[in-house]
A and B are shown apart, each in its own frame.
Chain A
Amino acid sequence: AQSVTQLDSHVSVSEGTPVLLRCNYSSSYSPSLFWYVQHPNKGLQLLLKYTSAATLVKGINGFEAEFKKSETSFHLTKPSAHMSDAAEYFCVVSEPTGGFKTIFGAGTRLFVKA
């Protein structure tokens, strides 16, 4: 069975410092992994996706994530936080089975201090 664990419910950083949002997953297959961002009163937006190609995935707005199969992790990073990065971030796992299985993590709220 697949599952997603976002290890931090809240992360607070200062503007200009690195961001690390942690995600561990469990899957019986070779999953596809995603990070979505949700700003207040706005829809979910895809940041980046891993689909069994390069393990280091670059996304929009300077975010990137590294797929580590041995650690079953897909942590999201950004070298330098910006105030506009403050939002809720969701790690998502999807299995390419005949049926449909897409599981969202509980989310990590990112706060960025000036």
Chain B
Amino acid sequence: DTGVSQDPRHKITKRGQNVTFRCDPISEHNRLYWYRQTLGQGPEFLTYFQNEAQLEKSRLLSDRFSAERPKGSFSTLEIQRTEQGDSAMYLCASSLDALVYNEQFFGPGTRLTVL
């Protein structure tokens, strides 16, 4: 399967713990995105990378959140000192660096539950 993969698919943690999620994009895609989706809402943009450079971050991405894409391939999203409000589906997507349009391919998501 050459699609976007995410690991783990589910994570249950206690409030105050740190968690880290991984995303492996489609191999030839330069751009990688992270979104958060809560129940009954559409995905909300968190951040995006072009190769290894993090080019934009949403105001939703508080200081407790950090994302990296060290070699321009896979990416990690870490949440420190998790809060119950962090419970959501975290989606990763990737795309080619296109000038005309920005079609993104999504992974299955990581569902985080903070107790």
**B39-58 to A contact mask, C-beta < 8 Å, 1/0:** 01111110010000001100
User: Counting CB contacts under 8 A, is A73 at the interface?
Assistant: no
Asked if A106 and B107 sit within 8 Å, CB to CB, the answer is no
- Check if A44 sits within 8 Å of B106, measured CB to CB: yes
Q: Which residues of A contact B33 (CB under 8 A)?
A: 100, 102
Number of interface residues of A (CB under 8 A): 22
- A107 and B41 contact, CB distance less than 8 A: yes
Known: A100-B48, A100-B55, A100-B56. A44 touches B43 (CB 8 A): yes
Question: Which chain A positions have C-beta within 8 A of B99?
Answer: 96
> Are B101 and A106 in contact (CB-based, < 8 A)?
no
- Given A102-B45, A107-B42, answer yes or no on A96-B101 (Cβ-Cβ < 8 Å): yes
Residue of B35, B93, B106, B108 contacting most chain A CB atoms (<10 Å): B106
- The A interface is mostly helix, strand or loop, or mixed, namely strand
- Number of B interface residues, CB 8 Å? 25
A-B contact count (CB 8 A): 57
CB distance from A28 to the nearest CB of B (A): 16
Q: Are B101 and A49 in contact (CB under 8 A)?
A: yes
With both beta carbons as reference points, the residue of chain A lying nearest to B42 in the complex is identified as: A104
Asked if A99 is an interface residue, CB under 8 A from chain B, the answer is yes
Chain A residues numbered 91-111 whose CB sits less than 8 Å from any CB in chain B: 94, 96, 99-100, 102-107
A105 touches B102 (CB 8 A): no
Is the CB–CB distance between A34 and B43 below 8 Å? no
Q: In the complex the two chains form, is B101's CB within 8 Å of A94's CB?
A: yes
**Distance of B33 from chain A, by nearest CB (Å):** 8
Show the binding face of B for A, using Cβ within 8 Å.
4, 33, 35, 40-45, 48, 55-56, 91, 93, 99-109
6 cross-chain pairs, A with B, having the tightest CB-CB distances, nearest first? A104-B42, A51-B101, A44-B106, A32-B101, A94-B102, A43-B108
A-B contact pairs, 23 of them (CB 8 A): A32-B100, A32-B102, A34-B103, A36-B106, A42-B108, A43-B91, A44-B43, A44-B93, A46-B103, A49-B101, A90-B43, A96-B99, A96-B100, A99-B55, A100-B33, A100-B56, A102-B102, A102-B104, A104-B42, A106-B40, A106-B41, A107-B41, A107-B42
